[in-house]
Amino acid sequence: MSRDALPTTLAGFERYCSDCVASLAVSEEARGIARDLVAPPAGALGALATPALRVLGELSAGLLLPRIRVQYGLAWGPPRKAALRALATASRLAAPRLPPALRRPPAPLLPPGALAPRASLAASTRARARNGEPVPASASLAARACRR
């Protein structure tokens, strides 16, 4: 997207996001990738991974928009919805009690700078702006939209 096409207001950004989401459709290739993501590996490791992959599959299904879930052919109903809600509650209760290293993915899986404190990221963005370097206008719009 060119800089000129970026939404300049929060309402414009929300409209853009809504239009993007409305245009989503599930292809056969996407269905195949989804099956591969939650398929247990072969052998003994597969037997150990199967319960975790089932939970991952249920979580993934629950987080999808209902129409996308239907396009994937995933079953969903009150028992699964209640299980997702219970898992979310348990996660919110357990997460603060975990050491920081267990609350985020391992550093090698994170993008560069992801572990930097927010304040330093904001400072570097301000510094880029002061130096005349490009700063994505959508960054502040996205941040405001996520705080709602």
Asked if residue 56 lies in contact with residue 38, where contact means CB atoms within 8 angstroms, the answer is: yes
Q: Are residues 98 and 113 in the same domain?
A: no
Q: Are residues 45 and 19 in the same domain?
A: yes
Instruction: Check residue 25 and give its pLDDT.
Output: 93
47 C-beta neighbours (distance < 10 Å), count: 11
Closest by Cα among 42, 45, 72 to 58: 72
Instruction: Check residue 116 and give its pLDDT.
Output: 61
Q: Are residues 34 and 72 in the same domain?
A: yes
Query: How many domains does the structure of the chain reveal?
Result: 2
Asked if residue 62 lies in contact with residue 84, where contact means CB atoms within 8 angstroms, the answer is: yes
Q: Are residues 84 and 143 in the same domain?
A: no
Instruction: Check residue 145 and give its pLDDT.
Output: 47
Share of the chain above pLDDT 90, in %: 30
Q: Are residues 67 and 14 in the same domain?
A: yes
Residues of the domain holding 114: 105-148
Measured between alpha carbons, how far is residue 135 from residues 13, 16, 128 in Å? 16, 19, 7
The Cα 6–Cα 15 span in angstroms is 12
pLDDT in tens, 6-41: 888 999 999 999 999 999 999 999 999 988 887 777
Q: Are residues 93 and 28 in the same domain?
A: yes
Q: Are residues 96 and 111 in the same domain?
A: no
Q: Are residues 71 and 125 in the same domain?
A: no
Instruction: Check residue 146 and give its pLDDT.
Output: 45
Closest by Cα among 3, 6, 25 to 16: 6
Q: Which residues of the chain have pLDDT under 70?
A: 115-123, 135-148
Measured between alpha carbons, how far is residue 115 from residues 33, 100, 109, 127, 143 in Å? 29, 11, 11, 19, 18
Q: Are residues 77 and 109 in the same domain?
A: no
Instruction: Check residue 117 and give its pLDDT.
Output: 58
Q: Are residues 82 and 129 in the same domain?
A: no
